[in-house]
Amino acid sequence: MNSIHPQAQKAAEAAECAGEQGKFWEMHDLLFEKQEEWSGQQAAPETFKTMAGDLALDQAQFDACLDGDTYFDKVGADLQEGQLEGVTGTPAFRINGIEVSGAQPFAAFQQQIEYLLAGGEPPSLEISADSYRSMGAADAPVVVTEFSDYQ
Partner 1 sequence: MIPDLIEQYVDTGKIRYVYREFPLTELHPAAQKASEAALCAGEQGKYWEMNELLFERQSEWSQAEEPASSLKDYAEELALDSSAFNDCLDSGETAVIIQGDGLAGQSLGVNATPYFFINDLPIRGGLSIDSLGQIIDYTAAGGEPPQIVPSADDVHVRGDAQTARAITVAFVDYGSPESAQHALEVLPSLVEQYIDTGQLVYVLHPWAATMDSPGAKAAIAAECAGEQGKYWEMHDQLFEQQAVWTVADDPTASFVDAASALNLDATRFKECLGTDWALLRVQAGNVLAALYGVPGAPVFLFNNGQGQQGSPTLEEFQTIIDSILNQ
Please check whether residue 102 is in contact with residue 50, taking contact to mean a CB–CB distance below 8 angstroms: no
Stretch that binds partner 1, among 8-16, 52-60, 67-75, 81-89 (CB under 8 A): 81-89
Binding-site member from 60, 107, 119, 130 for partner 1 (CB under 8 A): 119
Cα separation of the two ends of the chain: 41
58 vs 63: CA distance, rounded Å: 9
Instruction: State yes or no: residue 105 binds partner 1 (CB under 8 A).
Output: no
Closest to partner 1 by CB, 50 vs 101, is 101
The SS3 call for residue 93 is strand
38 vs 46: CA distance, rounded Å: 9
Stretch that binds partner 1, among 17-25, 60-68, 70-78, 118-126 (CB under 8 A): 118-126
The alpha carbon of residue 43 and the mean position of all alpha carbons in its chain are separated, in whole angstroms, by: 20
Binding-site member from 24, 32, 72, 115 for partner 1 (CB under 8 A): 115
List, in sequence order, every residue forming a beta bridge with 92; answer none if it has no partner: 78, 101
Residue ranges in 23-42 that form contacts with partner 1 under rule CB under 8 A: none
Residue of 102, 88, 80 lying closest to 9 (CA atoms): 102
Instruction: State yes or no: residue 131 binds partner 1 (CB under 8 A).
Output: yes
Closest to partner 1 by CB, 45 vs 91, is 91
What are the residues binding partner 1 (CB under 8 A)?
Answer: 83-86, 92, 98-101, 108, 111-112, 115, 118-121, 123-125, 127, 129, 131-138, 140-151
